[in-house]
Structure 1
Amino acid sequence: MTLNRTHIRRGWLYAAVLALFGSAFLVLPASAEAVPFADCPTGQFCLYDGSGGTGTRTDVAQGGKAERDAGTILSVKNNTGMWACAYSRPEYGGGHQTVKPGNSDEYVKDGVRWVVGSYKLVPTRALCFTGYERCQGTQLCTFAERNGRGAMTVFDKPATDTTTGNHGNSYGPEVPSASVVNRTGRHLCFYPTADYQGSWTDDNDTVYGAYVVLRGQSVTVPSPFAGTFRSHELVNGTSECQ
């Protein structure tokens, strides 16, 4: 009887062990699948020409940017410590998306592609909403869109008009002026005509002889001034504006 009980105990033990191993094998996956964006190196903003981190990958280091010709981008992984800003048009124009550090993003949904026309990496998300940093040194810059975004025109060498003596520039309607940054060290007077004259009238019938941007100031130009500048001059005091 003792022998039989021993065999019974051993048989129960063998069955338990086999059941344990069987359950372990049952939960193992048949094959491991690649984790999306797992190939993006640390410290890089990775751009893929396929959805879900597939296709050809382009790496951009912290602080990198492309104002135009961004190429085909269908997905991204931000593996940097900075915010990534993606725009639907060149020169940080159009609609935009922000990608926080460590996150990924998709630019194709339901078969429709969201075109990435430009991008940049910046220290804070707030800087995704502006593009004034492109205007350097002592330049005067105007922009096609609000907040320093879109096509930029630089006036870095003001001339003295031989007829009027104004220290500034005159130009045609092709110059964008939805926003302005003045880094010249002087105050700035804008006019609606090419000969440093004219005036504007707002909705309250207030007449303005010049639109002033103080030195060091950046501004989104409101109505009725936006898009109407045809000349400007630089002055030491705003009382010198025409």
Structure 2
Amino acid sequence: MTDFRIDLRRGALITAVLALLCSLFYVLPANAEPADYADCPAATLCLYSGANGTGERRDFTGTQSLESYDATWDGKTLSAKNNTALWACVYGAPAYGGGLQTVKPTNSDAYAPGAVRSHKLVPTRALCFTGYERCPDNRVCTFPEPNGRGAMTVHLPATDPVTKNYGNSYGTEPAPKSAWNRTPRHVCFYPEPTYTGTWADPADASGQKRFAAYVVLRGDSVTVPAPFAGTFRSHELVTTTGDCQ
């Protein structure tokens, strides 16, 4: 009788444990939360208006880099999932300007309100830091930020009536801090809108040493150094650098 009672107790304990395990198996799947960003399609960059892949979602493929968003979406992204094989570059200003954050392929990220105002998808992270690729062939392009970032100005060559060289005198666009010369000629930049002017050498305390035109050779892109950065107000295209004013 004693052994029989011990067996009954053991049997009751085993039955209770099995019942508890079964209840866990049945209850857990029903209450489990869906994985974050699970709704982001393959080969897609998904931007969300809420944290952790919640809220409204907008989808972009590798061919849909945007330099700006419509007013209803501008600065509204709070999280992102990069479900592509490319690097996602997100910027704090339109035209790939302002602050930069990068998202590795298959990774996600979170943002403060207003931190995402443009994006592009590129094969390598290094390409997130430049924007020169936007410049059309046979044009001089200038940018208000280093490395070809920010709103691009495309200069259409026009013959100056005095110099007879192709040139542009700038309007109200910001004075550039970087440029790409995609023409077959060299470009001479000047601090005055009349294709003239010089720069003082900051290393010369006497102020006597001056720089003339700042030259960007054909095919070259450049982040403009001091004292030239942010001071260009005109340029002309020339056959040889000796033709600069």
User: Same fold by TM-score, threshold 0.5 exceeded?
Assistant: yes
Instruction: Please name the residue that 2:195 is paired with.
Output: 196
Instruction: Please name the residue that 1:159 is paired with.
Output: 158
Report if the CA contact (8 A) 1:153-1:176 is conserved. no
* Pairing 1:221–2:229 present: no
Can you give the 5+ residue segments of structure 2 that lack an aligned partner in the other structure? none
* Pairing 1:20–2:18 present: yes
In the alignment, the residues of structure 2 paired with residue 176 and residue 118 of structure 1 have an alpha-carbon distance, to the nearest angstrom, of 22
Report if the CA contact (8 A) 2:139-2:157 is conserved. no
* Pairing 1:128–2:131 present: no
1:236 alignment partner AA: T
Shift of 1:24: 5.0
Give 1 or 2: higher strand fraction: 1
In the alignment, the residues of structure 1 paired with residue 49 and residue 218 of structure 2 have an alpha-carbon distance, to the nearest angstrom, of 43
Report if the CA contact (8 A) 1:202-1:223 is conserved. no
Which range moved further: 161-170 or 80-89?
161-170
In the alignment, the residues of structure 1 paired with residue 15 and residue 129 of structure 2 have an alpha-carbon distance, to the nearest angstrom, of 63
Q: Aligned-pair RMSD on alpha carbons?
A: 2.1
Can you give the 5+ residue segments of structure 1 that lack an aligned partner in the other structure? none
Report if the CA contact (8 A) 2:165-2:238 is conserved. no
* Pairing 1:239–2:242 present: yes
In the alignment, the residues of structure 2 paired with residue 120 and residue 188 of structure 1 have an alpha-carbon distance, to the nearest angstrom, of 29
SS in 2 for 1:126: helix
In the alignment, the residues of structure 2 paired with residue 5 and residue 167 of structure 1 have an alpha-carbon distance, to the nearest angstrom, of 108
Report if the CA contact (8 A) 2:175-2:233 is conserved. no
In the alignment, the residues of structure 2 paired with residue 166 and residue 136 of structure 1 have an alpha-carbon distance, to the nearest angstrom, of 21
* Pairing 1:77–2:76 present: no
Deviations 1:127-146, CA, capped at 9 Å, x for gaps: 11111111021211000111
Shift of 1:223: 1.5
Instruction: Please name the residue that 1:103 is paired with.
Output: 107
In the alignment, the residues of structure 2 paired with residue 197 and residue 225 of structure 1 have an alpha-carbon distance, to the nearest angstrom, of 14
Report if the CA contact (8 A) 2:186-2:241 is conserved. yes
In the alignment, the residues of structure 2 paired with residue 6 and residue 175 of structure 1 have an alpha-carbon distance, to the nearest angstrom, of 94
2:17 alignment partner AA: A
Question: 1:81-92, aligned counterparts within 5 Å?
Answer: 81-92=85-96
Q: Which of 91, 94, 98 is 2:98 aligned to?
A: 94
Which range moved further: 31-40 or 62-71?
62-71
Report if the CA contact (8 A) 1:142-1:178 is conserved. yes
In the alignment, the residues of structure 2 paired with residue 144 and residue 171 of structure 1 have an alpha-carbon distance, to the nearest angstrom, of 13
In the alignment, the residues of structure 1 paired with residue 12 and residue 83 of structure 2 have an alpha-carbon distance, to the nearest angstrom, of 50
2:78 alignment partner AA: L
Q: How many residue pairs get matched? A: 235
1:162 alignment partner AA: P
Report if the CA contact (8 A) 1:145-1:179 is conserved. yes
Question: 1:143-154, aligned counterparts within 5 Å?
Answer: 143-154=143-154
Shift of 1:13: 4.2
Shift of 1:218: 0.9
* Pairing 1:174–2:173 present: yes
State the TM-score, normalized to the length of structure 2. Answer: 0.87
